[in-house]
Structure 1
Amino acid sequence: MHIQIKKEHEKFIQAQIATGRYNNPEEVADIAFQLLEKLNVEYAQWIEETREKVDVAIAELERGEGLDGETVVNQILERFQKARERQE
């Protein structure tokens, strides 16, 4: 596979090699792909955790355990007001 690299990416790779942390462009690319893979795994985990939280919240709402939006907003505003009063 042949990949053309943008000039700014080439400069970045050369700068990384110049630091002495990497010996060649392949090492820099390997690290970049490892980080991309890690990012994808973490994103997939975040999506799954978020879906689970949404499912829990829906179940709570169906049982009548939720709060309406106005109540939540008022509670947040109340916390801000109390925090502001403490600062004064």
Structure 2
Amino acid sequence: MNIVLSPEQEQFVHEQIACGRYNSANDMIREALRLLEERNESSHHRFEELRREIAIGIEQADRGELVNGKEVFSKLRERNDAQIHPK
């Protein structure tokens, strides 16, 4: 497989090798791919978690377990003000 990098990307790779962070371009690309896989996996898990939370919220709403939005934001403002201006 051949990969074409922009001049800026190529310079960045050379800088990372020169400063000793990586032994080779291959090492750097492997690490970059590992981090990308990790980020994608984390995003996927977070997305699934949000879907579950939304489903729970919909079930609660269907049961009539609702909260007044104005009250929630009022309490959040009070908490925020208390943290910014502690007594």
- TM-score range, shorter-chain basis? 0.7 to 0.9
**1:54–1:15 Cα change, 3 Å:** same
- Which residue number corresponds to residue 36 of structure 1? 36
- Which residue number corresponds to residue 62 of structure 1? 62
Say yes or no: does 1:23 pair with 2:23. yes
List gaps (5 residues or longer) in structure 1: none
User: Percent identity at matched positions?
Assistant: 32
TM-score, scaled relative to structure 1: 0.84
Q: What is the distance in 2 between the residues matched to 1:50 and 1:27? A: 35
SS at match of 1:86: coil
Aligned length: 87
List gaps (5 residues or longer) in structure 2: none
Corresponding letter in the other structure for 1:72 = V
What's the Cα RMSD here? 1.7
Corresponding letter in the other structure for 1:2 = N
SS at match of 1:52: helix
Once the two structures are TM-superposed, the CA of residue 82 in structure 1 deviates from its matched residue by 3.6
Q: What is the distance in 1 between the residues matched to 2:21 and 2:79? A: 48
- Which residue number corresponds to residue 78 of structure 1? 78
Q: What is the distance in 2 between the residues matched to 1:9 and 1:26? A: 14
SS at match of 2:27: helix
Q: Once the two structures are superposed, what CA deviation does each residue of 1:37-61 show, in whole Å capped at 9, x if it has no partner?
A: 1111000000000111111111111
